[in-house]
Amino acid sequence: MSLMGQMMHMPLTISSLLTHAARHNGDVEIVSKRVEGDMHRTNWSEIELRSRKLAQALARLGLQAGDRVGTLAWNGYRHLEIYYGVSGAQLVCHTINPRLVPQQVAWIVNDAQDKVIFVDINIFPLVEKLAPMLASVKHVVLMGARESMPKETTLTNLLCYEDLIAAEDGNYQWPSFDENAAASICYTSGTTGNPKGAIYTHRSTVLHALAAALPDAMSLKATDTVLPVVPMFHVNAWGIPYAAAMVGCKLVMPGHHLDGASLYNLFEEEKVTMSAGVPTIWLGLLNHVKSNNLKFSTFKTTIIGGAACPPAMIRTFENDYNVDVIHAWGMTELSPIGTLGRLKAKHADWSLDDKQKLLEKQGKSVFGIDMRIVDADGKVLPWDGKAAGDLEVKGHWVVSGYYNIDKSPLHDGWFPTGDVATIDADGYMQITDRSKDVIKSGGEWISSIDLENVLMGHPAVHEAAAIACAHPKWDERPLMVVVKKPGVEVTAAELIAFYDGKIPKWQTPDDVVFVDEIPHTATGKIYKLKLRESFKDHKLPTI
């Protein structure tokens, strides 16, 4: 028999992150811009105490291990307390995206069988409307104080968050249990078909937090002040609420105030050093700072992912504002971190241009995630930076199945991501498309991301989306849908000419249409399905 080690064994539970934060960095601030409109300041020590009180309150409401507790809330300290109070008490925190269409919210609550739902004040009307459809929900808790409670409501099961907390003494011990117990559930955004629930374990969440904080990942430190723009209902704000507790850094929670001006003011007032979010949110912030001639005084790094970050956005942040962009790729099924754009020692003497090109890719994997690309027959493709195939992953924080779905999503033990990618010899992965979004022209694939990235570098373009448009000869040809920057004029022909020399000639889009707005999904991605529907009868000039 092999010799066993003699190390303490402590389950990797989410409550251990919070008790560490409270004990070792208790006075570090959590600042929230509240739905109520004011700023609120607390710290890790108070968050831990109130999370314990919340756990007591949930026990008093009769919840038992494994019960699901929903949240419909923005980023704020109460949401953070629910994250920890719920998971810490061996209940399952189910964050729900309030931007989904109401029927989908109801579908998700019913699928998860949430017993309690916590809701922010300005999302309450949605819950009130859906309540008759939510049979599993025994209590709705309004995330506010007594004075925020509605004067009149059709709900008979409405509770007040601050009353719940105030009724408890905090004399509560976080339970110890199997680290493989469910900690939280997040549903995929489901632009096609019903959303699917990814159930994270305590173990996967803690390991993900450890990896997320590493220097070659988010590089989170106790000296950082982090503002997660990415919502806590989108894959647990990419793990920041957990990783921040682990490293003991200050958190700044923006609530629903995500316009450029509000974000900029928060960045400056709270001396934010680091942030994270999807590309679309940064368009608003960059527009605001540019049009008002502003600079950032403390903001140093931002993690951009959730959709391809256009190289032009990386350049603007770095050249004009001295903010480093770390391009990251991940997904709900990966908790979400998969890869990040970070250099290796061998790149030290590369030219600036070559380094920048490399960092435009989605990056290399962190420990805990392995990846490969396969062709349509499942044959593994080489890492040569050229062969593009279906990206598959495996790792400590990758789903092995979905909630309530028997059929395994795995292929040969790997999780098929639905993304198409290349991987180069050094392990740098580049997404060329979502497999549903590739443009198939005459049997060849055109990357919609490549086409979008070129136009995003044009001074007159605010946002650009590439979609496939039917073509009798080539099956599909690229059509660009473009939003112009305010007050700037540009023609379709000028934009098409802008592609010269930047991509292979045959990939040049056949047409450009201008719109006032490009539709986005509830998680801030370009809503390609909707765009394809809107332009399905568009007649290309090349037909």
Is residue 333 part of the annotated active site? The answer reads yes
Q: Does 306 bind ligand AMP (CB under 6 A)?
A: yes
Q: Does 362 bind ligand AMP (CB under 6 A)?
A: yes
What is the Cα–Cα distance from 277 to 256, expressed in whole angstroms? 14
Minimum distance, C-beta of residue 522 to ligand AMP, in the bound complex (Å) = 9
**Applying CB under 6 A, which part among 305-313, 382-390, 481-489, 503-511 lies near ligand AMP?**
305-313
- Size of the chain in residues: 543
For 23, phi then psi, to 5°, come to: -80, -35
Q: Does 189 bind ligand AMP (CB under 6 A)?
A: yes
Is residue 445 part of the annotated active site? The answer reads yes
Q: Does 398 bind ligand AMP (CB under 6 A)?
A: no
What is the residue whose two structure tokens read 């999807």? 278
From 29, 46, 445, 485, active-site residue: 445
For residue 103, the surrounding DSSP H or E stretch is helix 102-112
Is residue 440 part of the annotated active site? The answer reads yes
Q: Which of 330, 329, 367, 327 is nearest to 343 (CA)?
A: 327
Contact 482, 463 (CB under 8 A): yes
- For ligand AMP, the binding residue among 308, 358, 359, 469 (CB under 6 A) is 308
**Applying CB under 6 A, which part among 118-126, 139-147, 412-420, 467-475 lies near ligand AMP?**
412-420
What x/- string results for residues 253 through 292 when contact with ligand AMP is judged by CB under 6 A?
Answer: ----------------------------------------
- Write the secondary structure of 24-79 as one string of H (helix), E (strand) and C (coil): HHCCCEEEEECCCCCEEEEEHHHHHHHHHHHHHHHHHCCCCCCCEEEEECCECHHH
Q: Which is nearer to ligand AMP, 78 or 196 (CB)?
A: 196
From 13, 42, 95, 188, active-site residue: 188
**Applying CB under 6 A, which part among 47-55, 101-109, 128-136, 299-307 lies near ligand AMP?**
299-307
Strand 415-423 and strand 429-434: the pairing is antiparallel
What is the Cα–Cα distance from 448 to 503, expressed in whole angstroms? 12
Q: Is 248 helix (H, G, I), strand (E, B) or coil?
A: coil
Q: For 226, which DSSP code?
A: E
Q: Does 181 bind ligand AMP (CB under 6 A)?
A: no
Q: Which is nearer to ligand AMP, 75 or 332 (CB)?
A: 332
Q: Does 422 bind ligand AMP (CB under 6 A)?
A: no
| Torsion angle in degrees (nearest 10) through CA of 256, 262, 266, 268 | 160
- For ligand AMP, the binding residue among 523, 528, 531, 535 (CB under 6 A) is 523
Neighbours of 275 (CB within 10 A): 27
What is the Cα–Cα distance from 251 to 265, expressed in whole angstroms? 15
- For ligand AMP, the binding residue among 165, 331, 439, 469 (CB under 6 A) is 331
Q: Which is nearer to ligand AMP, 274 or 328 (CB)?
A: 328
Q: Does 335 bind ligand AMP (CB under 6 A)?
A: no
- For ligand AMP, the binding residue among 134, 243, 307, 479 (CB under 6 A) is 307
DSSP states of 413-480 as a string?
TBEEEEEEEEE-TT--EEEEEETTT-EEETTEEE-HHHHHHHHHTSTTEEEEEEEEEEETTTEEEEEE
- For ligand AMP, the binding residue among 85, 195, 305, 389 (CB under 6 A) is 305
Q: Which residues bind ligand AMP (CB under 6 A)?
A: 188-189, 235, 305-309, 327-332, 336, 362, 417-419, 431, 434, 523
- Residues catalogued as catalytic: 188, 333, 440, 445
